[in-house]
């Protein structure tokens, strides 16, 4: 049986928690970037800053023992279609997903879809689909992934994300981020069907 | 996968270059993105693929109240 995560909203009070301040994703540069984001109290590389400045939502995900497994975040950005279309739409954005290094690949005995990382991503996909239904956000979700983080790229590809081939190069760090995307229409349709059936799949 | 900065800058619309510069302090792309024609074509193609794909069956994670 799958070991299901629970979640709660991340708040400024959580910054004082040892499990936040000692949050570690691993030794790679992208691991440090993710951990810094959740641990920082302010500044442009801070979850709290983004929550205030961009109304990004951040959740902490806990295992059945109440231990912090990781976090997920969902924000919004705007995409403009090129000349000819000139369509402009708000789209869902995943600023960061972080899995504590202790829980990477866990639970070991779980099927891929039941791994903690996929539970978190799937939850974000469902939240984004809900936003598309409720507030008209375009049914697309876009994470930016460090171009050298092959594990993360595979992770998203396993959930049908594709490369938009408009990489974003940061001059100061020399890091290239890949813009990936996934349509949410299948989940939107599912939500609408569940709603029509009176079976709200949003859970408690 | 493209990994050469010079090539990326050349392929990036002007608005994107400005965005990258002004956003150098943050790794998070909240800024407006102007799609290239190629990216718009990818989106169009992927929409067709997505429509043929069986829907992803996912579970929502239950929300709990914060413990204080």
Mean pLDDT of A148-175: 94
User: What integer pLDDT is reported at residue A44 of this predicted model?
Assistant: 81
Cis omega (within 30 of 0) on the bond before A107? yes
User: What integer pLDDT is reported at residue A199 of this predicted model?
Assistant: 56
Mean pLDDT of A36-42: 95
Among the listed residues A137, A117, A147, A120, the one whose alpha carbon sits nearest the alpha carbon of residue A183: A137
Element (H, E) at B44: helix B37-52
Mean pLDDT of B19-27: 37
As given in the structure block, the two tokens for residue A136 are 């008209």
Mean pLDDT of A126-132: 96
User: What integer pLDDT is reported at residue B2 of this predicted model?
Assistant: 36
Q: Verify whether the Cβ–Cβ distance A165 to B32 is below 8 Å.
A: no
Q: Verify whether the Cβ–Cβ distance A6 to B64 is below 8 Å.
A: yes
Mutate to test the interface with A, among B21, B38, B45, B58 (most CBs of A within 10 A): B58
Is B6 at the interface with chain A, CB within 8 A?
no
Mean pLDDT of B54-67: 84
Q: Verify whether the Cβ–Cβ distance A165 to B35 is below 8 Å.
A: no
**Model confidence over B10-21: pLDDT tens digits?**
333 333 333 333
The interface predicted TM-score (ipTM) is 0.88
Which of A3-7, A86-90, B23-27 has the highest mean predicted lDDT (pLDDT)? A3-7
User: What integer pLDDT is reported at residue B22 of this predicted model?
Assistant: 33
User: What integer pLDDT is reported at residue B68 of this predicted model?
Assistant: 56
User: How long a stretch of residues is chain A?
Assistant: 204
**Model confidence over A7-20: pLDDT tens digits?**
999 999 999 999 99
A-B Cβ pairs (cutoff 8 Å, strict): 181
- By the 10 Å C-beta count (0-12 exposed, 13-18 middle, 19+ buried), A133 is classed as middle
What is the percent of chain B with per-residue pLDDT over 70, rounded to a whole number?
54
Residue identified by tokens 């000692």 is A22
* Residue A117 CB partners (closer than 8 Å, separation 6+): A70, A97, A99, A104, A155
User: What integer pLDDT is reported at residue B67 of this predicted model?
Assistant: 61
Helix A116-135 and helix A150-157: axis angle, to 10°?
A: 60
* Residue A151 CB partners (closer than 8 Å, separation 6+): none
As given in the structure block, the two tokens for residue A15 are 């910054």
User: What integer pLDDT is reported at residue B9 of this predicted model?
Assistant: 30
Q: Does domain A6-138 have CATH number 3.40.50.300?
A: no
What is the percent of chain A with per-residue pLDDT over 90, rounded to a whole number?
82
A70 HSE (CA, 13 A, CB side): 28
Residue bearing the bigger pLDDT, A81 or A181:
A181
- Tell me the pLDDT of chain B averaged across its residues: 66
User: What integer pLDDT is reported at residue B1 of this predicted model?
Assistant: 36
Residue bearing the bigger pLDDT, A202 or A154:
A154
User: What integer pLDDT is reported at residue A171 of this predicted model?
Assistant: 84
Q: What is the DSSP letter of A4?
A: -
Q: Report the residue from A75, A76, A166 with minimal CB separation from B12.
A: A166
DSSP E strands in chain A: the ranges are 6-9, 57-62, 68-80, 88-94, 97-99, 138-146, 162-163, 168-170, 175-183
Q: Verify whether the Cβ–Cβ distance B29 to A77 is below 8 Å.
A: yes
Residue bearing the bigger pLDDT, A43 or A19:
A19
Extents of the domains making up chain A: 6-138
User: What integer pLDDT is reported at residue A77 of this predicted model?
Assistant: 94
User: What integer pLDDT is reported at residue B17 of this predicted model?
Assistant: 32
Among the listed residues A108, A122, A132, the one whose alpha carbon sits nearest the alpha carbon of residue A159: A122
User: What integer pLDDT is reported at residue A40 of this predicted model?
Assistant: 96
């Amino acid at each position: 049986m799958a070991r299901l995560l629970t979640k709660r909203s991340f708040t400024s009070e959580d910054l004082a928690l040892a499990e936040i301040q000692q949050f570690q994703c691993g030794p790679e540069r992208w691991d440090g970037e993710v951990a810094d984001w959740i641990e920082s109290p302010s500044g442009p590389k801070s979850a709290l800053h983004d929550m205030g400045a961009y109304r990004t939502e951040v959740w902490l995900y806990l295992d059945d023992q109440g231990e912090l497994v990781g976090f997920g975040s969902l924000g919004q950005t705007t995409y403009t279609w090129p000349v000819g279309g000139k369509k402009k739409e708000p789209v869902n954005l995943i600023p960061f997903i972080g899995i504590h290094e202790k829980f990477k690949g866990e639970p070991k005995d779980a099927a891929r879809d039941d791994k903690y990382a996929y539970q978190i991503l799937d939850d974000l996909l469902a939240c984004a689909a809900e936003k598309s239904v409720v507030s008209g956000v375009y049914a697309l979700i876009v994470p930016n992934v460090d171009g050298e983080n092959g594990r993360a790229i595979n992770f998203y590809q396993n959930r049908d994300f594709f490369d938009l081939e408009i990489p974003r190069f940061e001059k100061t760090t020399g890091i290239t981020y890949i813009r990936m995307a996934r349509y949410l229409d299948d989940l939107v349709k599912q939500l609408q069907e569940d709603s029509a059936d009176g079976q709200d799949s949003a859970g408690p | 996968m493209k990994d050469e900065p010079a090539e990326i800058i050349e392929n990036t619309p002007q608005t994107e270059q400005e965005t990258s510069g002004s956003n150098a302090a943050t790794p998070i792309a909240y800024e407006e993105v102007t799609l290239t024609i190629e990216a718009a074509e990818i989106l169009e193609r992927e929409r067709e693929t997505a429509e043929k794909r069986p829907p992803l069956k996912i579970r929502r994670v239950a929300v709990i109240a914060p413990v204080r």
